[in-house]
Amino acid sequence: MTDDFSSLGLSSKVTDAVSAAGYTRPTEIQAQAIPHLLEKKDLIGIAQTGTGKTASFVLPMLTLLENGRARARMPRTLILEPTRELAAQVSENFEKYGKNHRLTMALIIGGVSFEDQNKKLDRGVDVLIATPGRLLDQIERGKIMLNGVEILVIDEADRMLDMGFIDDIEKIVNRLPPRRQTMLFSATMDAQIEKLTKKFLQNPVHVQVSRAASTADTIDQKLVKVSSKPEDKRAALRDRIRAAEGLTNAIIFCNRKRDVATLARSLERHGFSAGALHGDMDQKSRMETLDAFKGNRLTLLVASDVAARGLDIPAVSHVFNFDVPVHAEDYVHRIGRTGRAGRLGVAYTLVSPADSKHLDAILKLIQKPIEWLDAPAAQSRPEPAAESDGTASEGRKKRPSRRRIKGAAAPEAEIVPQAEIAPQAEVVRAEPPAPSSNSRRRPTKRPEESVSANVSAFGDAGPVPAFLLRPTRITE
């Protein structure tokens, strides 16, 4: 592998910026891909997550764009990303490595004002980083013309397909000039990706630095047996977090967005510094949560798979799979959030009895065993009370129900007139005593005067029987 970046053919402006960022040696994917890209060849890059794929296309792109100038609404370079977070991260890479350039850049993603985006587009941008949906919106509004694009990057191609963006990508690519350089990067390679490359790339160079869908050797992987009960599973996670050695921060993955919010609230109630990140959050909240996690103001980030792909947070010490991912490829991406840039990381996966099918698929994909740990005995424990959010609080004990009877007095009252008891209320009726001259309780009115003549419950059978009008004692 090449010893330093200066031997790859990058411009001095780029190598100076890389040195200033603290990097001295390129990763394997960077060392193999950059020379081909500087020769303006199409390229397919397959590498496990966390190996530096982003810099492998950003650095040569900066060098190639040093000559030339962008025109209004006609970007010179287009980078497609599956999520807003990935797009924002690539823009951060351009700012970091392009600080010695005077290149312009625009970020076209949802959750950001069209007006702000349009101002940049009207001035002309060299680099356009976009998610497919928002880009098509801007194209239909007549704000972007793609006939000047010289370089196209399709990043996280497998994720693009998983998220159903294939049709959008085809619409976008059909608007690009046929003579262009195209780069496609992915962590996994399957038949659909191969079909995509044949359609969009011309005589591409294949660069694969590791077996497709492999996991990094820097990640210590563990499996933890847990109960299927949500409260027991949350207790097991808390125990594992407390027992984890060297934990500085961690990402916890859930399969469903609603479980992300529930788990984050549960961890907060137990005294952990936790935040949630999922696709239903608005862009401002998502970026604020990410910034807090990156800035060490949050220790635990509970996330859906929106955070599993490509987020570059180098110092993540641990990953916890609260749920076993349904798709085996997602396991590779999730645990790839730790053990990055040569650092050591730990990944725990909580496995319930119902997860055996998905776990088997993961083991088959990564082709390596994962050590089982004996989970601490985690009994169902009541969780601290929380403010009502319309659902039952987690772990809240159920109080004995006291049915409130319409028209009844306060709960401590024992005698309630029978005529006012709701029909569904269960009461214990004492046998009516035989009439006697010493009876302490006599109706002050005749039965026919106490009940409306319109009572229909007894049909034509006459007035309500007298024994139903007698006061009774309610037993709790």
Task: Write out 288-332 in H/E/C secondary structure.
Answer: HHHHHHHCCCCCEEEECHHHCCCCCCCCCCEEEECCCCCCHHHHH
Domains of the chain, earliest start first: 5-208 (3.40.50.300), 219-373 (3.40.50.300), 409-476 (no CATH)
The reported pTM is 0.59
Q: How many other CB atoms are there within 10 angstroms of residue 417's CB atom?
A: 12
Q: In the numeric block, which tokens belong to residue 209?
A: 């630095």
- The residue written with tokens 């949630």 in the block is 276
- The residue written with tokens 């370089």 in the block is 151
Alpha-carbon distance of 329 to 214, in angstroms, equals: 9
C-beta separation of 166 from 200 below 8 A:
no
Angle at 57 between CA 123 and CA 290, to 5 degrees: 75
Closest CA to 135 of 64, 198, 87: 87
Tens-digit pLDDT profile for the chain (476 aa)? Answer: 566 898 999 999 999 999 998 888 898 899 999 999 999 999 999 876 667 889 999 999 999 999 888 788 889 999 999 988 889 889 999 999 999 998 999 999 987 778 888 888 888 889 999 999 999 999 999 999 999 999 999 998 888 887 888 889 999 999 999 999 999 998 777 788 888 888 899 999 999 886 656 788 889 999 999 999 999 999 999 999 999 999 999 999 999 888 999 999 999 999 999 999 887 788 788 888 988 998 899 999 999 887 656 566 778 999 999 999 988 888 988 898 898 777 899 999 999 999 999 999 999 988 899 999 864 444 444 455 444 343 333 444 444 443 333 333 334 333 333 433 334 434 344 444 444 444 444 444 444 444 444 444 445 455 666 666 666 666 54
Phi, psi of 7 (to 5 degrees): -85, 0
